[in-house]
Amino acid sequence: MRKRWWVAGGVALLLGMGAGMAQWWSSQAGERALVRLTERLDAQPGWQASRHEVEHGWRHSSGVLRLAAEVPAGHAPFDIVLPYRMRHGLLGTRLDGEIELPRMDESRWQASEAPTWHATYRTLTREMTGRLVWPTATLRGEAASRARLGAGELTLSGHVGDVRYHLHSAPWRLTREDGGILSGELDVQGRYRGDARRFHHTLSLSLAELRLLGGAPFALENVSHEADIRLDDDALHYRGEGRVGSVVVGGEQVASGRLALSLTERRWRGRANLDRAHARPGGVGRE
């Protein structure tokens, strides 16, 4: 009997040590993934990325990720601050936080609440899923311009070199003294595989309407676009098709149409070969 207790105790000790090592490995893997993400963001043209107030532990970590845009001389600086919290599990890490715009005061930016985001990183597969949610907000600019941005969300999933995305946004409105633009409900989804040298990008877009405000009334309704873009060693290939359910002028429908386009641009030659472009008879289109 005593021998069995010794065996059971040894097994429990080994399991505990294994769980502790798995927890430590998961926390280290989650931290390395965030370091790589920061480095990739910092390598993007026009942006500088850095982390501050970093506290790293076996089960919980926290910090602040700051993105600073490189703006021309004489323009106001623009920063995005993302405080984050990390919870490390045995097989993955979960992150969540908010998005702050420290240089935007209430006279320029108004929203009922801060945008929020969360992400999950799986240690074994190195896959990540993320979701960004933002509320309805108002942005005031110069020359009496004003933008009302509709609430929406963006989801991402996959790993480096293969990312799926889905963006959905409520209508938004941009107004100026001489007019403006109204954009209806927007939905975009796609998949990006590859890197900056070789990639395959497919996307599908739908827009309920696009309307000009002020001046002559003009609107596009039920707009959609599908595209397949591929970059290989020889050329950039594009195949796409756009549709417009109706073109409305002065409150009356005057046209509808479809445009299909195929384009190949040879690498290193600096010229494009137009393979195919056509519009549906009776619709709108341009070659």
> pLDDT tens across 156-187, in order?
999 888 999 999 999 999 888 778 899 999 99
Per-residue confidence at 6, pLDDT binned at 50, 70, 90? very low
Neighbouring CB atoms inside 10 A of 27's CB total 22
Mean pLDDT of 188-212: 92
Mean of all residue pLDDT scores within the chain: 80
Q: Which bin fits 70, alpha (ψ -120 to 50), beta or left (φ > 0)?
A: beta
Residue 259 has pLDDT above 70, yes or no: yes
| Its pTM surpasses 0.85 | no
**CA atoms of 156 and 128, how far apart (whole Å):** 8
Neighbouring CB atoms inside 10 A of 102's CB total 11
Write the DSSP string, 230-250: EE-SSEEEEEEEEEEEEEEET
Residue 136's pLDDT is: 93
Q: Which bin fits 19, alpha (ψ -120 to 50), beta or left (φ > 0)?
A: alpha
pLDDT, tens digit, 9 for 90 and up, residues 92-103 = 788 899 998 887
Instruction: Determine the straight-line distance between the first and last CA of the chain, rounded to whole angstroms.
Output: 88
pLDDT, tens digit, 9 for 90 and up, residues 204-222 = 999 999 998 877 788 999 9
| Displacement of CA 175 from its chain's centroid (Å) | 25
Find tokens 């946004």 and name the residue: 169
Please state whether beta strands 128-134 and 235-249 pair in parallel, antiparallel, or not at all (unpaired): unpaired
Pair 264, 236: CB distance under 8 Å: yes
Residue 275 has pLDDT above 80, yes or no: no
Distance of CA 157 to CAs 120, 144, 160, 204, Å? 9, 39, 10, 17
Residue 218's pLDDT is: 87
Residue 267 has pLDDT above 70, yes or no: no
Residue 188 has pLDDT above 70, yes or no: yes
The encoded tokens of residue 42 equal: 């910092």
Residue 8's pLDDT is: 45
Residue 132's pLDDT is: 94
Pair 181, 210: CB distance under 8 Å: yes
**In terms of Cα–Cα distance, which of 57, 129, 124 is closest to 96?**
129
**In the chain, % of residues over pLDDT 90:** 31
Residue 270's pLDDT is: 42
How many residues are there in the chain?
287
Per-residue confidence at 277, pLDDT binned at 50, 70, 90? very low
Better-predicted residue by pLDDT, 84 or 276: 84
pLDDT, tens digit, 9 for 90 and up, residues 219-242 = 999 999 999 999 988 889 999 999
